[in-house]
Amino acid sequence: MDHDILSLNIFALNAYMHRKSMPQPRPVVTYPALVGKILAQQREIRGLKQGAIAEALGLSQSAYSRLESGESVLNLSQLRNISTQLHLQPAQVLSLADQYEAQLSLQGVDVIAEKPNNPAAVAIGLGLLAALLLSSR
């Protein structure tokens, strides 16, 4: 019995030391993903479906989905057209992005221009962004 407890304690100590010695990736979110998530949030608040917005813009639903996820980068015309569909001004969307960027920064999340090479950092960053957006509802 004592051997099992000792083994468990050694396992826990090794796990703790390994965790401490491994650098943790700094969470990141791309700016296009941040803006896209804000557009998705605003669309959902208004009870609109991706397909309806996509159709109004002359896009496929999958192309519009890529804009909301940040996989595709919005151009200014698209931002203006999507904002119009959501009864917002583009400046309102960008102002929300600035506010969320400041909140994410306080939580240790970097908002970057381009997609990073570290998928773990992206996953952590997107999780924190989702939590932030959910808490603001």
Task: Measure the CA–CA gap between 13 and 67, rounded to whole angstroms.
Answer: 45
Q: If pLDDT is split at 50, 70 and 90, which confidence band does 24 have?
A: confident
Round to whole Å and give the CA distance between 43 and 30: 20
Predicted pLDDT of residue 117: 65
Question: Is 13 a member of any domain?
Answer: no
Overall average pLDDT of the 55-74 stretch: 95
CATH number at residue 59: 1.10.260.40
Contact between 19 and 112 under an 8 Å Cβ cutoff? The reply is no
Rounded mean pLDDT, 39-56 = 97
User: What is the band of 13 on the pLDDT scale with cuts at 50, 70, 90?
Assistant: very low
pLDDT at 39: 97
**Measured distance CA(91)–CA(115) in Å, rounded:** 24
CA-based nearest residue to 84, from 130, 32, 48: 48
- Alpha-carbon distance 50 to 42, whole Å? 11
Is residue 80 a part of any domain in this protein?
Answer: yes
Answer whether residue 121 is part of any domain. Answer: yes
Range of the domain at 47: 25-135
Query: Considering the domain boundaries, does residue 108 fall inside one?
Result: yes
pLDDT at 26: 81
Number of domains into which the chain is organized: 1
Judge whether residue 76 has pLDDT over 70.
yes
The tens digit of pLDDT for each residue in 92-125 reads 999 999 999 999 999 888 888 876 666 665 666 6
Report pLDDT for 69. Answer: 93
| DSSP for the chain, written as a single string | -HHHHHHHHHHHHHHHHHHHHSPPPPPEEEHHHHHHHHHHHHHHHTT--HHHHHHHHT--HHHHHHHHHTSSPPPHHHHHHHHHHTT--HHHHHHHHHHHHHHHHHTTPEEESS--S-HHHHHHHHHHHHHHHHHT-
User: Is 60's pLDDT higher than 60?
Assistant: yes
Q: Is residue 10 part of a domain?
A: no
Threshold 0.75, pTM exceeds: no
Q: What is the per-residue pLDDT for 53? A: 97
Task: Tell whether 93 is covered by a domain.
Answer: yes
Please tell me the predicted confidence (pLDDT) of residue 27: 86
Quick check: is 131 in a domain? yes
Residue 58 within a domain: yes
